[in-house]
Amino acid sequence: MTQTIQPPQTAQGGHPVGSRRRQTIASLFGEHSFECIDWRQLIQDGVLVRLHIRRCRFSTRLVLEDIGVRVEDDMVREKLSTWLILGEKRLLPVAYMKSLSRIESSARYALKERSFRTELGSFVPSSAYIAWRDMTLSLKVQYEALRDDILANHRLLTRQVLAEYEVIAGDTYQRLCGTHPELVTETREHFVTNYCNRIISQVPSPDRIRDTFDFKYLLVDGLSQLGTTQAEPPSQQSSVNAHEGRSTPVEVARLQVQSREWQRSVLEQDLRMHAQERVNTALDSFLASVVSQLRSLTYDVACDVLSTLQRRGGESVAHQSVRQLGNLLTQVRELNFYGDTEMERMMDQIQQIVEQSPEERQRSIADIGRTLRAIATVTRSTLLDLEEEPRVAREIAIPDLPTEASVRQARAELGLDLDATQFLNLAQVRADVRGERAEVGTYGMQSLWSYMESEAQRAPRTV
């Protein structure tokens, strides 16, 4: 049985809170109203992922003695330690530090690229799960192998670290002798030895490394995060009673039970009400994140490519831009687990751009710009309806608030309001037009949509 969401609260005047946003979400899911969205099926078609990566950081704070400064006054020393942060000392060779950071960053980036960031957490749809899992397991293997390498070579690596700090300590001693000889109270050998002893005392031991290194992920059922208790919507009879001024269930309970029991019943009722409000808020956020994230990704890439095209004088499409569009195709199609037809159609048109040869792109550059500008206009308008704040793109002629007329024109340019058969015919016509580009010079910078309409008037096509 389809599970529905409770009706939204109403503001003054009787209008639902966020009704435009919710109606936009519903239409993008192909439903007549927000309450009809089968959110349980959506949440069950993916999993919440919690990624945990940790380790001892192989670094410690730099102190004044490390740079040859000694403060005898205890009060001054305390204030300096409270208000002055000098930096950090590394306790592992740089190559290992970079490798550890690279693996952790790659794992977090892989989750970011293949998940929806929702109020419930990182939601990985089934369409992207296997690719994410395989990448993450590969990085886990690399992480653990690097940990084992550090443990196996712990003594050698510690010696390498100390060799570097011996040089630093010797240089610090020489500078002190040259600038503040009165501060030098020990021989060079003692100074270097004490300096390195402070370093080696802070290098993590093999046991600490073994205990602190961890790379794991937890899979959480999204439904479990919403709780199992679903408050039922108020019945019509309850609504009628309220309007007629009759006693509410709480008032009846107050008359029938002892004060303490009545207090408990009120508390339980409020708990149920607030639990339902949390569920509704979480679902609203979850569904909005699902439909908005794909459009945010698409909008940003379209704006990036248009900006690059503008910087190049509108004369050619950069190779990096083609690669960026290709990466967008892969990411959106992995994340579009719920079958967003608008996104599919926009991706189909981006795929046509990606699959063109450099020569074809050169001949079609005006149409490419119009297609990307139409995509940016449509996605920006939808994001605004979803109460998102996409980046400003005035420099590439994308208005902050697209008018209804400009959105209709952009949707027509992309064929978003056509049914599936009409859209396929449109795609074929566009392919024919590209093939006949050399014979269409008389139309100059006229939009492809306008050209097709004029062609239809001269020689109507059967759709």
pLDDT, position 85: 57
Instruction: State yes or no: pLDDT of 226 exceeds 50.
Output: yes
Return d(Cα 343, Cα 1) in angstroms, integer: 28
Contact 129, 337 (CB under 8 A): no
Alpha helices by DSSP H, listed for 180-258, are 188-200, 206-212, 222-226, 236-243, 249-256
Higher-scoring residue by pLDDT: 444, 375: 375
pLDDT, position 462: 42
Q: Which H helix or E strand runs over 216?
A: strand 214-220
pLDDT confidence of 67, banded at 50, 70, 90?
Answer: low
In this structure, the chain runs to a length of 463
Place of tokens 């479990």: 224
pLDDT confidence of 173, banded at 50, 70, 90?
Answer: confident
Return d(Cα 340, Cα 17) in angstroms, integer: 25
pLDDT confidence of 73, banded at 50, 70, 90?
Answer: low
CB atoms inside a 10 Å sphere around CB 33: 15
pLDDT confidence of 463, banded at 50, 70, 90?
Answer: very low
Torsions phi, psi for 121 (to 5 deg): 135, -165
**C-alpha torsion sign, points 308, 313, 314, 320:** negative
pLDDT, position 7: 46
pLDDT, position 248: 57
Q: Take residue 68 and report the two structure tokens written for it.
A: 């040859």
Beta-carbon contacts of 160 under 8 Å, excluding residues fewer than 6 positions away, are: 93
pLDDT (mean) for 368-382: 95
Beta-carbon contacts of 26 under 8 Å, excluding residues fewer than 6 positions away, are: 32, 33, 34, 36, 37
pLDDT (mean) for 272-294: 80
Instruction: State yes or no: pLDDT of 382 exceeds 70.
Output: yes
Beta-carbon contacts of 173 under 8 Å, excluding residues fewer than 6 positions away, are: 68, 184, 188, 191, 192
pLDDT, position 41: 85
Higher-scoring residue by pLDDT: 224, 92: 92
pLDDT per position as a tens digit, 305-330: 999 999 999 888 999 999 999 999 99
Q: What is the DSSP letter of 34?
A: G
Q: Which H helix or E strand runs over 98?
A: helix 94-113
pLDDT (mean) for 207-218: 93
| Poorest-pLDDT segment among 45-49, 172-176, 423-427 | 423-427
Exposed, middle or buried, 301 (CB in 10 Å: 0-12/13-18/19+)?
buried
pLDDT, position 461: 44
Instruction: State yes or no: pLDDT of 452 exceeds 90.
Output: no
CB atoms inside a 10 Å sphere around CB 274: 11
pLDDT, position 422: 55
pLDDT, position 150: 96
Place of tokens 């930096």: 87
The secondary structure of the chain in percent helix, strand, coil, rounded to multiples of 5, reads 65, 5, 25
pLDDT, position 380: 95
Return d(Cα 17, Cα 185) in angstroms, integer: 73
CA atoms within 13 A on the CB side of 442: 4
Instruction: State yes or no: pLDDT of 95 exceeds 60.
Output: yes
pLDDT, position 268: 63
**C-alpha torsion sign, points 305, 434, 381, 122:** negative
pLDDT confidence of 241, banded at 50, 70, 90?
Answer: very low
Q: What is the DSSP letter of 439?
A: G
CA atoms within 13 A on the CB side of 288: 22
Provide the CA 46 distance to its chain's centre, in angstroms. Answer: 16
Task: Find, among 344, 286, 341, the residue nearest to 45 by Cα.
Answer: 286
pLDDT confidence of 169, banded at 50, 70, 90?
Answer: confident
Task: Find, among 289, 300, 297, 294, the residue nearest to 386 by Cα.
Answer: 289
pLDDT confidence of 451, banded at 50, 70, 90?
Answer: very low
pLDDT, position 179: 74
pLDDT confidence of 420, banded at 50, 70, 90?
Answer: low
CB atoms inside a 10 Å sphere around CB 299: 25
